[in-house]
Structure 1
Amino acid sequence: MTKRKRVVVLMSGRGSNMEALMAACGEPDYPAEIVGVVANRAEAKGLETARRAGIATAAVPHRDFADRAAHEAAVSAAIAEFEPDLICLAGYMRILSAGFVRQWNGRMINIHPSLLPAFPGLHTHRRAIETGCRIHGCTVHFVTEVMDEGPIIAQAAVPVLADDTDDALSQRVLVAEHQLYPLALALVAAGSARVEDGRVVHEGAVQPQAGVARLVSPPGWREAVDLEKLARMTP
Structure 2
Amino acid sequence: MSSTPEKRISILISGRGSNMEAFLKAAQSGTLSGRVVRVISNRPEAPGLATASEANVATTVVDHTLFESREAFDAALVDAVSQDSPDVVVLAGFMRILTPVFIDAFLGKLVNVHPSLLPNYPGLNTHQRAIDNGDKEAGATVHYVTNELDGGPPILQVSVPIEPGDDAASLAARILGFEHIIFPEAVNWHLQSRLIQKADGAYLDGKKLPATGTLWEWQA
Do these two structures clear the TM 0.5 threshold for a shared fold by scoring above it? yes
For structure 2, the 5+ residue unaligned runs are 210-214
One-letter amino acid of the structure 1 residue matched with residue 205 of structure 2: E
Q: CA deviation at 1:217?
A: 2.3
Q: Following the alignment from structure 2 to structure 1, what is the Cα–Cα distance between the partners of residues 142 and 32?
A: 18
Describe the SS at the equivalent of 2:39.
Answer: strand
Deviation string 1:153-199 (CA, Å, 9 cap, x unpaired) is 11111101121101110001101101111111111111111234522
Q: Name the structure 1 match of 2:107.
A: 105
TM-score by length of 2: 0.90
Q: In 1, Cα distance between the equivalents of 2:152 and 2:44?
A: 29
Which of 41, 56, 59 is 2:58 aligned to? 56
Flag the 1:204–1:23 CA change in 2: closer, same or farther, 3 A: farther
Residue 163 of structure 1: aligned partner: 165
Letter in 2 for 1:7: I
Change (3 A) 1:153 1:99: same
Name the SS for the 1:34 alignment partner. strand
> 2:81 is matched with which residue: 66, 79, 82?
79
TM-score by length of 1: 0.85
User: Could you tell me which of 118, 121, 136 is aligned with 2:120?
Assistant: 118
Give the conservation status (yes or no) of the 8 Å contact 2:141–2:156. yes
Contact 1:176 1:217 survives alignment (8 Å):
no
Structure 1: runs of 5+ lacking an equivalent: 208-213, 219-235
CA contact (8 A) 1:3 1:31 kept: no
Aligned equivalent of 1:224:
none
Q: Give distance in 2, aligned partners of 1:171 and 1:204.
A: 34
| Distance (Å, rounded) in 2 between the aligned partners of 1:170 and 1:195 | 28
Q: Aligned pairs, how many?
A: 211
> Given the alignment, which residue of 146, 151, 154 partners 2:156?
154
CA distance in 2, matches of 1:161, 1:92: 28
Matches of 1:203 and 1:216, distance apart in 2: 18
Q: Judging changes above 3 Å, is the alpha-carbon distance between structure 1 residues 157 and 67 closer, same or farther for their aligned structure 2 residues?
A: same
How do 1:1-235 and structure 2 match up within 5 A?
2-28=4-30, 30-203=32-205, 216-217=217-218
Structure 1 Cα separation of the partners of residues 139 and 4 of structure 2: 32
Q: Let me know the Cα RMSD of the aligned residues.
A: 2.0
State the Cα distance separating 1:204 from its structure 2 match: 9.1
Q: Distance in 2 between matches of 1:215 and 1:20?
A: 17
- Give the SS at the match of 2:29: coil
Q: Against the structure 1 CA distance between its residues 73 and 197, is the aligned structure 2 distance closer, same or farther, given a 3 Å change threshold?
A: closer
Contact 2:77 2:102 (C-alpha < 8 Å) held by counterparts: no
Q: Distance in 2 between matches of 1:185 and 1:114?
A: 18
Q: % of aligned pairs identical? A: 40
